[in-house]
Amino acid sequence: MDGSLLRDRELPELSRGEIARYSRHLLLPELGLEGQKRLKAAKVLIVGTGGLGAPLAMYLAAAGVGTIGLVDFDFVEESNLQRQVIHGFRDVGRPKVASARDRLKGINPNIEVVAHNLRLTGANALDVIAGYDLVADGTDNFPTRYLVNDACVLLGKPNVYGSVFQFEGQASVFYAREGPCYRCLYPEPPPPGLVPSCAEGGVMGVLPGIVGTIQANEAIKLLVGSPGYADSSPRTLVGRLLLFDSWKMRFRELALDKDPRCPICGTNPSIRNLVDYERFCGLKQQKETEERVETISAKDLKVWMDSGEPIQIIDIREPHEQAIFKFPRSKYIPLGQMVRRADEFDPAVAAVFVCKIGQRSVFAIRALREAGYRGRLINLKDGANSWAKEVDTNLPTY
């Protein structure tokens, strides 16, 4: 047993050109000719071609992984370019998998790139993942993380995990055959909205590059194992969670144990099929709650403001967001102070709440309702960015 995922596979030969290309790998006794052949024979699926998937895919392509599958259903936006280095300005508006495929083929024309331009769901995940040796999770949401984890456990595949937020990142390898899975670490998802997305909380541009290359490093070690030239197999992040703070430039490590009570990889698993992950993570209930909140479009709000009819506009964005642009005729009240400052509202006058994209404002309205406020509360649909797109186009979106 040498630790490689491909130890029983018939390996392809390397051409003279490939030997020259990968010569720096071949000089490493821990990798060598045998290891490079294993990389050429390998098939890796990358879920997400954003901040994490970009460096991950580019380094695996450069390393000579023979087949790289890309899963994404999104399109390239200008705000992606600060960190998603696989895409360029000319790719704005293109499907991410198409842009990423072109970039990877430009890096290494010898590899095969398979574009899966789709949303990974419980209905298709097993079929998509089954054809690959390893999955690398570059997603940014909890439903897909649990979906990827469960599919990998059911199929016996390793899941190379990474996540980032603001200045902090995490990486691990969840491989139920050898150690814990994602559910062993996080049995339940956080309540919807408790953990902001990068779109709302921001992310340091270089951080996904660091974490994504760590994921690429782990994937290569899993694929190569110990080809026979080295004394021992490489140590992977199976059973270990690597934590990185880019602002303080500090790495930490936590030991992870397999949970015998885990519902999918434990002693008596109760999950034997993929489930509805949006419902499991509470997103369907959240959507139902949001639908019960009265909304107003940016254009209709502008008409209301111009009419002279009384209105309260409450901006709950953070001070550094307001520095980008100030919302007209608004009063600033931070989300965390909303309930204790409820006496500053006039229940006789409708209040419109503004955040960046119209999600945090729903929580502000919910908090006021639960505190007993009886005035009319309205959410600005799609937030301050909709005002910049539909009303005052001189303002930036962010």
> Is position 198 annotated as part of the catalytic site?
yes
Tens digits of per-residue pLDDT, 246-288?
A: 999 999 999 999 999 999 999 999 999 998 898 888 776 665 5
The pLDDT of residue 7: 79
Angle between helices 53-63 and 207-224 (to 10 degrees): 40
The pLDDT of residue 288: 58
Low-confidence ranges of the chain (pLDDT < 70): 1-3, 193-194, 227-232, 284-291
Tens digits of per-residue pLDDT, 308-361?
A: 999 999 999 999 899 999 999 999 998 889 999 999 999 999 999 999 999 899
String of b and e for 202-237 (b: at least 16 CB within 10 Å)? bbbeebbbbbbbbbbbbbbbbbbbbbeebeebbebb
- Check 184, 198, 262, 265 and give the catalytic one: 198
In DSSP terms, which residues pair with 115 in a beta bridge? Answer: 70
Backbone angles phi, psi at 108, to 5 degrees: -145, 100
Residue 137 near residue 92, CB atoms below 8 Å: no
Instruction: Of 61, 24, 26, give the one whose Cα is nearest residue 42.
Output: 61
The pairing of strands 240-245 and 67-72 is unpaired
String of b and e for 135-152 (b: at least 16 CB within 10 Å)? bbbbbbbbbbbbbbbbbb
Give residue for tokens 């936006």: 77
The pLDDT of residue 1: 37
Quote the CA–CA distance of 135 and 138 in Å, as a whole number. 10
Determine if the pTM surpasses 0.75: yes
> Is position 281 annotated as part of the catalytic site?
no
In the chain, the domains with their CATH numbers are 16-284 (3.40.50.720), 293-390 (3.40.250.10)
